[in-house]
Structure 1
C-alpha cells in the first residue's frame, strides 16, 4: 500500500515537472533527457541500474530543481535591473554627448561672429586710413586744391554752382557724421546710391548686433538685452489675444484687391472717429482728410517729398528721434536745420532742453542768412527722447511762429496714448478750437507705440490741405497697407470699450511700474536723468563717465555697454549737442530690466574705477613728460575729414593708427601678397609726379 502510494506520488510529481516551463528546466530536465535508452547502456560498474535507483533518487532531484529555480529568479531580476540601468546610462551619455556637440556648435558660431565683426572693423579701419592717405597725397601733388572732390549736384535743384556743391557737401558730411555713411565710390551706383550703400551708424550697428545675439532667457541668457529700440514689450499678451479674436479674422474680396491709395473708406472713417475722440477735437474730423501708410517713417519721407524741394530744409529741435533724419534725407535729400537745446536751466520756470519760440526765431534767422530755404518745422509731442509733454499754450505759440514765417508744421503725436503719468495732460493740436494755419498743419499718428505692435506697419496723416493729402496718397502706391491689416486696424480702433477699460489701464500701470523701477536704480547709482511721464524712455546723463567731453568718448562708452551685452542709444544718434546723454528704454519685462540694469551698473562701476586709476597715475607723472604712446585715443568710426588742412589730416592719421593694431597685423609685405592688384594700383599712384 505504501509503495503504491509512493509510486503515485512520483507520477504526480513527474507530471508537475513536465508542466514547468522550459526556462525553469535544467540541462538534465529537458525533453531529450527523458528519452528511454536501453538498460545495458545505463549499468554502472557496481551493478546498479538507473531504473533501480529511480525510486531512491527522485526526491533529491526535485529538491535540486526547486533550489535552482529559487536561485534563478533573483538572478533574473538582477540582470533585468542591470539592463535597465545600462540603458539609462547610455541614454544619459547620449544626452551629454548631444549637449557637448551643441555647445561646441554654439561656441563655433560665436567665434565666427566675432571673426566676422573683427573683419568688418578691419575693413572700416582700412577704408578710413586709405581715405586719409588719398587726401594727403592730393594735397601734396601740385595743382590740386585743398578740398576733396564732391558728388555732382542734383540736376533737379534750382540752384547751381559752387554754393549748391558746398550745401550738398555739408549735408552729406552731416549725414556721415551722424550715421556713419562711408563715402564709397562704386561705379555701379549714383551719388545717393553710394551713400545708401555705405549707410552705417551706432543705431544701425547696435540693432544688427542685437539680432545676431538676441537675449533669450532659456536659449541665450548671455545675449544682448535691447534697451535701445523704442518698443513697448509690456502688452504682448493683451494685443495677441485681441488681434486673434474671431471678429479680426475676416477676409472678403475687397480686402484682396487694390484699395484707394489713401486707404479703404471704412478704415479712414474709423481713424477720423478715433482721432476725434482721443485728440478731443472740438468738431468731428473729416475722413477725407485722412491718409494711411505703412508706418510714420514712410509718412515722414512722403511729407518731405511733397512739401520740399531737394534744395530746401526743415527746422527741428535737438535732441530728436534720429530715424527722422534717415526718413527725410535718404529718399529726398532734404536737409535738417537744428535748433540745439541745452541741458542747462536758464531761469526759474524753465526745464532742461526746453524749446522756446525765441530759439526757433534765432535759428531760423541764422539759417536764412546762410542761404538756407526753410520750408517746414517738425514738432514731436510727446517728445522722443526727452519725454516732455508740451502744453496747449506752448503748441499754440509754435504754430503761430510757423504761420508768421509761412512754414508747414509736421506734428508727430505717435506717443499720445502713452502718457502714463496722471499729473501730465496731453493736448493734441487737433484739440485746438482754431488752428493758426490749418492748410499748413499736418498731424501724424500710428499704432506701433501706443498699441505695442511695432511690427505692424500702420501710420496715418490728418491734414485739411487736400493738395498735401493727394500728394502723399500718390506715394502710398509704394507705401500702402495691405487690405487684411486695414480691416484689423479698423476693428481695433472702433473697439473703444476694450481700449479704455482694458488696454489703456493695464498699459499705463505697467509703464508706471517699469519706469519707477529704472528711475530708482538710477538714483541708487547717483546718475542724473529727466524724470518724465510719457513714452518708453528715460533721458540719462552719463557725462561724468566720459574721460573727455567728446562724442568720440560717448561712442566709446556706447560700445562698452554693447560689449557687456546691453544695447543703449547714445545722444549723438539724436543729434544732441552735448556728449554724454543716453536714452534707455524701460518698457520691458521685469527680469530683463533687472538683468539689463545690472549690466549697466557693471559698466559704470568699471568705468569709474578706470578713471580713478588714470587720475591717480596722472598725478604721479611730471607735467609734459607723459608718453603719448601710452594714451588711449578713441576715434569715431563714422567721422570723415572734410576740408581739413594737411596738419589736421596727419594728426587724424596718427590717431587712427593708435586706435587699432591693424598695422602690427598687416605688414606691407603681407598686404602685397594678399592684395597684389590693390598694391600695384597704389604703387602706381605713388610713383606719379
Structure 2
C-alpha cells in the first residue's frame, strides 16, 4: 500500500513524492540516480527544486529527451498509485465480505467435522464389535455371577456380582441408544421441526424392524417375535366380542359434535364411578375432577406443560418406562431428574431396585445444588419395567416427601388391574383417607393395558386441583377422544359384572400362566430375574452374557437377539444404571412364547460358547505374554474373514484419510478418554 505525502499548493503533485522517495535510505532508481539534469537542478541554491522543475515543464519536451523520460515515468507512477489505491479499497471491501463468509464456513466446517468424527467413531465401534464377535479379540475373563433362580424381595444378588456404574445425568438430546443417526437440518423446517424430524426414540429401531418383518404363523413364520412392546395380546377374543355387542353401537347427535374438552359428561361420570369402585376410594370421586385425553402419553405431555416451565425437571426413579422421556420433552422441553436404583440391597433397601425416600432426598439435593429446578415427582405403580407394587405405607412416605418440598406428584396407575397374583395387593393413592397434599397429587389411568386395547387411545386424569384440571383441559382440544369411542368406553366401564366375572378372572389366569412359562424357561437357562406378579413383563439379568459389562455390550446383545428374530428391550432404554438388564413381555400366545424363548435360548448358548472360546484364547495368550501386555488383544494368528469387517476397515481408513480428526486429537488424549478402543486401534494400525 502506498503512502500519500503532503505537498505545497504550488508544487507538481508528483515531484514531492519523487524527491521524498529519492532521499530515502537505500533508494536506487538507476535512471533517475544517473541523471545529471536532475542533479544540476537540485544543486542551485535559493531556488526551490519543485519550482525549477515547474519552469522546465514550459520548455518544449523535444529540447531535452531526458525531461520527456522523467515525466513519462512520473505519470506512470501516478497511475500506478491510483490503481493501487483502487485495488486497496476493493480489497478492504472484499475482505469484509470474505470475513463474514469465512465465519459462516467455519461454523459449517465445525459442524461437519463433528459429524465426521461421530461417523468415524461409529465405524470403528462397529469394527470392534465385529472383531469381538468374530473371536479375534480376546476379552479378559469374566467373574461368574451368583445365580439365583429368582430374586425374592429379601434376597441379595450375590457378593460376586460386577457392580454397575451409575450413568451421569445426561443432557437428554434424545438420540436413540440403538442408532447413530446424524442430525440433519431441513430448509423446510424450523430448528425445532428439524429436531422432531430427526428424533428417534429409544426403541424405534427395533419397533421399526418388527413392523417390517412381523412374525405370522402362516404368512411369515421366520419373522420377528415382539417381546419388547408392552401390550397384552392374551385377551383379544374377549375384548373384540364385548366391543361389538349391540349396546356399543349407539350414536346420537351430541357424539358427533364438539364435546366439553374435558370429555363428555356421561363418560366422566362413569370414570369417576369406576375409579371409586376399583381404587376403593373412601368417598365417591367427583366427575368434575376427571379429564379425558387420547392416551396416557398425551397426559404425560399435558401435565409436563402445565406443571413445569421449559428446562424444569421431574424426579423419576430408574429404570422406568422410556416413553415418558419423549412425552415430557418433545413439546415442553421438560427434563427428567434420575433417581438411580440398582440391584444391590444396601442400607434401608429390602429388595433390588427399591425406591426409598432417602434416595429421593439425595437426588433432589444434588439437583438443587447444581441449579436445576425440580417441580414434580413421578411414580409408577405397579411399576414398569420392574413389576414392583408399592405398599400404601411406601406411597404415604413418598407423598409426604413431596409435600415437604412442595412438589407435585404424578401417580401413574395404568397397570392397577393387571396384578394377577392373589397374594399381592394393589392399593391406589385414591384409597387414602387423607392425602398429604391433595392439590398437588394427580392420578392417571387408561384402558390400554388393563383391557388389552392399546390401539384405543384413552387416558384419564383425576385431580382435585381445578387450575390443573382446566389447564390440561385446554390441551384436550388437541388430544380429544371421538364421541362414538367415548360412548363405547363408558359402556365398557359400567359393565362391572362382565369385568369382574369374565374379563379380569380370565385375564389374570392367562397372565399368570404365561409368566410361569417364561420364568420356568429362564430358570432352566440359569438366568436370574426379579420375582414380581404385576404387569406384562419380567426384568431379567443377562449381565453374565456381557463380555465387558458395558452398555455397548448390552446393545450388541440386544442386536444379537434381533438378528435372531426376537425383539426385547434392553436396560438402557429404561435408563437403568447397570448394563445387562432386559425386559421381556410375556403377555402373548403360547406358540409365540415357545418359539420366542427357543430363539432366546439359541442366542444365549451361542454367547456362552463365544465367551468360553475367548476365555480359552485369553488364557493361552496370558501364558505367553509379559505382565506389561495389554488386556485386549487382536490375534496375530487369526485374520478376520468376515466381509463386513473388511468393509468397515476400508470405510474407517477412508474416513481417517479425509479428516483432520487424528491431528486434532492426540494419541495421549485419545488413550485417556477411550483406553479400550485405543488399545485395539493401536494393534490394528500395527498390523
When normalised by structure 1's length, the TM-score is 0.68
- Find the aligned partners of 1:134 and 1:543 in 2 and give their Cα distance: 28
Aligned-residue offset at 1:196: 1.8
CA contact (8 A) 2:349 2:356 kept: no
- Determine the structure 2 residue equivalent to 1:221: 221
- Find the aligned partners of 2:440 and 2:635 in 1 and give their Cα distance: 57
- Determine the structure 2 residue equivalent to 1:450: 450
- Determine the structure 2 residue equivalent to 1:252: 252
Question: How many positions carry a matched residue from both structures?
Answer: 495
Aligned-residue offset at 1:547: 0.8
Which secondary structure state, in structure 1, belongs to the residue aligned with residue 420 of structure 2? coil
CA contact (8 A) 1:310 1:333 kept: yes
- Determine the structure 2 residue equivalent to 1:530: 530
Asked if 1:564 corresponds to 2:581, the answer is no
- Find the aligned partners of 1:380 and 1:646 in 2 and give their Cα distance: 46
Which secondary structure state, in structure 1, belongs to the residue aligned with residue 218 of structure 2? coil
Asked if 1:381 corresponds to 2:381, the answer is yes
- Find the aligned partners of 2:332 and 2:308 in 1 and give their Cα distance: 9
Instruction: Decide whether aligned partners of structure 1 residues 649 and 186 sit closer, same or farther in structure 2, where only a CA change above 3 A counts.
Output: farther
Asked if 1:435 corresponds to 2:421, the answer is no
Q: Deviations over 1:257-306 (max 9, x none)?
A: 11011000000000000000000000000100000000000000000000
Asked if 1:627 corresponds to 2:634, the answer is yes
Show the 5 A alignment for 1:599-610.
599-610=599-610
- Determine the structure 2 residue equivalent to 1:359: 359
Asked if 1:394 corresponds to 2:394, the answer is yes
- Determine the structure 1 residue equivalent to 2:368: 368
Instruction: Decide whether aligned partners of structure 1 residues 605 and 129 sit closer, same or farther in structure 2, where only a CA change above 3 A counts.
Output: farther
Aligned-residue offset at 1:185: 3.1
- Determine the structure 2 residue equivalent to 1:315: 315
- Determine the structure 1 residue equivalent to 2:277: 277
Structure 1 gap ranges (5+): 1-125, 136-168, 636-640, 660-689
Asked if 1:301 corresponds to 2:301, the answer is yes
- Determine the structure 2 residue equivalent to 1:338: 338
Asked if 1:585 corresponds to 2:571, the answer is no
Instruction: Decide whether aligned partners of structure 1 residues 628 and 300 sit closer, same or farther in structure 2, where only a CA change above 3 A counts.
Output: farther
Q: Deviations over 1:491-539 (max 9, x none)?
A: 0000000000100000000000000010100000000000100000000
Aligned-residue offset at 1:188: 3.5
Instruction: Decide whether aligned partners of structure 1 residues 191 and 171 sit closer, same or farther in structure 2, where only a CA change above 3 A counts.
Output: farther
CA contact (8 A) 2:178 2:205 kept: no
CA contact (8 A) 2:175 2:200 kept: no
Structure 2 gap ranges (5+): 1-111, 122-168, 650-660, 682-687
- Find the aligned partners of 1:595 and 1:475 in 2 and give their Cα distance: 44
Q: Deviations over 1:188-228 (max 9, x none)?
A: 43333333222225510000100100000011110000000
Instruction: Decide whether aligned partners of structure 1 residues 175 and 317 sit closer, same or farther in structure 2, where only a CA change above 3 A counts.
Output: farther
Higher relative contact order (CA 8 A, sep 6+): 2
Asked if 1:235 corresponds to 2:242, the answer is no
Show the 5 A alignment for 1:386-425.
386-425=386-425
- Find the aligned partners of 1:221 and 1:457 in 2 and give their Cα distance: 30
- Find the aligned partners of 1:654 and 1:315 in 2 and give their Cα distance: 34
Instruction: Decide whether aligned partners of structure 1 residues 317 and 180 sit closer, same or farther in structure 2, where only a CA change above 3 A counts.
Output: farther
Aligned-residue offset at 1:653: 13
Instruction: Decide whether aligned partners of structure 1 residues 509 and 129 sit closer, same or farther in structure 2, where only a CA change above 3 A counts.
Output: same
CA contact (8 A) 1:180 1:200 kept: no
Aligned-residue offset at 1:252: 1.1
- Find the aligned partners of 1:175 and 1:620 in 2 and give their Cα distance: 41
Aligned-residue offset at 1:347: 5.8
- Find the aligned partners of 1:348 and 1:457 in 2 and give their Cα distance: 40
- Determine the structure 1 residue equivalent to 2:80: none
Aligned-residue offset at 1:129: 6.0
CA contact (8 A) 2:172 2:335 kept: no
Q: CA RMSD in A?
A: 2.9
* Aligned match for 2:116, one of 102, 113, 130: 130
Which secondary structure state, in structure 1, belongs to the residue aligned with residue 478 of structure 2? helix
When normalised by structure 2's length, the TM-score is 0.68
Asked if 1:198 corresponds to 2:189, the answer is no
CA contact (8 A) 1:129 1:653 kept: no
Q: Deviations over 1:421-468 (max 9, x none)?
A: 110000100000000000000000000000000000000000000000
Show the 5 A alignment for 1:477-488.
477-488=477-488
Instruction: Decide whether aligned partners of structure 1 residues 170 and 614 sit closer, same or farther in structure 2, where only a CA change above 3 A counts.
Output: closer
Asked if 1:508 corresponds to 2:508, the answer is yes
- Find the aligned partners of 1:210 and 1:627 in 2 and give their Cα distance: 35
- Find the aligned partners of 1:194 and 1:503 in 2 and give their Cα distance: 45
Show the 5 A alignment for 1:151-190.
171-173=171-173, 182-190=182-190
Aligned-residue offset at 1:171: 2.3
